[in-house]
Amino acid sequence: MADAWPQGKVIFGLIFATTFITCRVLLWAFFSKYFVSDALLAINNTDSSRDAARPWVKIFLASLTGLSCLQVLWLGQIILVAKEELGGMLA
């Protein structure tokens, strides 16, 4: 499809990059901040009735950390591909 409609590839790539940056970078950081603060409150809570949930909260925090690292990696890949595509179009 990219060969038949090269402008479409650029347009869809631009839409993807814009929505990725909006959702996965900006909104992710915003919601992660609140999740981490709530999770730390849950971990530090001394209520013994919630002791069983602490390991799960720690697992979720570790998962969030791993996914956040992937977000940065994917953003870097998007930037590299965008430079390559724009460089090819301008040449």
Q: Per residue in 14-54, pLDDT tens?
A: 898 899 889 988 899 999 999 999 999 888 887 777 677 78
**Pick the residue with more confidence: 68 or 49?**
68
C-beta separation of 5 from 84 below 8 A: no
Can you tell me the distance from the alpha carbon of 18 to that of 59, in angstroms, rounded to the nearest whole number? Answer: 30
pLDDT at 77: 92
Tell whether 65 is covered by a domain: yes
Q: Is the pLDDT of residue 68 over 80?
A: yes
Tell whether 63 is covered by a domain: yes
pLDDT at 14: 86
Its pTM surpasses 0.75: no
- How many structural domains compose the chain? 1
User: Which three-class secondary structure state does DSSP give residue 75?
Assistant: helix
Tell whether 1 is covered by a domain: no
What value does the mean pLDDT of the chain take?
86
Which residue range forms the structural domain that includes residue 82?
A: 6-90
Tell whether 25 is covered by a domain: yes
**Measured CA distances, 81 to 50, 59, 87 (Å):** 46, 33, 10
**Measured CA distances, 41 to 8, 73, 77 (Å):** 47, 29, 35
C-beta separation of 43 from 54 below 8 A: yes
